[in-house]
Amino acid sequence: MKIAVDGPAGAGKSTISKILAGKLKINYLDTGAMYRAATYLTLVKKIALEDSSAIINAVKDCDIDFIDNEIFLNGNNVSEQIRSPEVNKAVAVISRIPEIRDIMVAKQKKIAEKSSVIMDGRDITTIVMPDADYKFYLDAPIDIRAERRFEELKAKGSLVDMEELKGDIAKRDFEDKNRETGPLVVAGDANVIDTSGLSIDEVTERMLNIIVKKVNRL
């Protein structure tokens, strides 16, 4: 079974995809984490963000693996480091490099070939798994997505300025939707769910209903 989930930052994709993976007993792949790991590598190696060919070479040579939903870069667990504000700021630059997308998409397609999986990201319904059994596009207005991120960060003990947070998310939305390769778009055959006003359980339930309905029709 292949499930593809796309949508902008803060729509609830990864939280819900993880829950669905548990309920359906399939693997979960957080493709955003892969772009974040490539960005973290670029920052650690102090490669200039303008130096695309050095970035491509570094990423070509690195190992990115997942073990129990933790991400490993060249054997080191970098699950925390990839969520830093520095990575947040630079990830759009790395993820718009076409050769980087080719490397990531190839890895993701290989994983999709091997096992039943739910993957979330920006180009999963369109480029990585255009033949997925189920496609979802999760969305919510920017105010709600910013509010969720604010609460998440607060729970981790970091207080950020709400307007700045909203500005960062708006910038990422723009960059994700307007890049030339693999932009975030709503696939024609995706089930679009506006998650505002819905709890995580309610969204999960809606997605499961769509899956069960289709399974029953087969």
Among 3, 176, 203, 207, binds ligand DC (CB under 6 A): 176
Angle at 88 between CA 85 and CA 92, to 5 degrees: 155
Per-residue x/- track, 155-174, ligand DC (CB under 6 A): -----------------x--
- How many other CB atoms are there within 10 angstroms of residue 202's CB atom? 12
Q: Which residue has the tokens 């190696």?
A: 45
35 is an interface residue for ligand DC by CB under 6 A:
yes
Contact 112, 129 (CB under 8 A): yes
Among 21, 56, 78, 91, binds ligand DC (CB under 6 A): 91
Among 95, 125, 126, 195, binds ligand DC (CB under 6 A): 95
Alpha helices in 82-126 (DSSP H): 85-95, 98-114
Among 17, 31, 125, 195, binds ligand DC (CB under 6 A): 31
> Which stretch in 15-23, 27-35, 145-153, 204-212 sits in contact with ligand DC by CB under 6 A?
27-35
- Residue of 8, 15, 3, 1 lying closest to 138 (CA atoms): 8
111 is an interface residue for ligand DC by CB under 6 A:
no
* Token pair belonging to 49: 């963000």
Which residue lies nearer to ligand DC by CB, 200 or 212? Answer: 200
Q: Judging by beta carbons within 10 Å of its beta carbon (0-12, 13-18, 19+), is residue 120 exposed, middle or buried? A: buried
Q: Which residues would be at the binding site for ligand DC (CB under 6 A)?
A: 9, 31-32, 35-36, 91-92, 95, 121-124, 172, 176
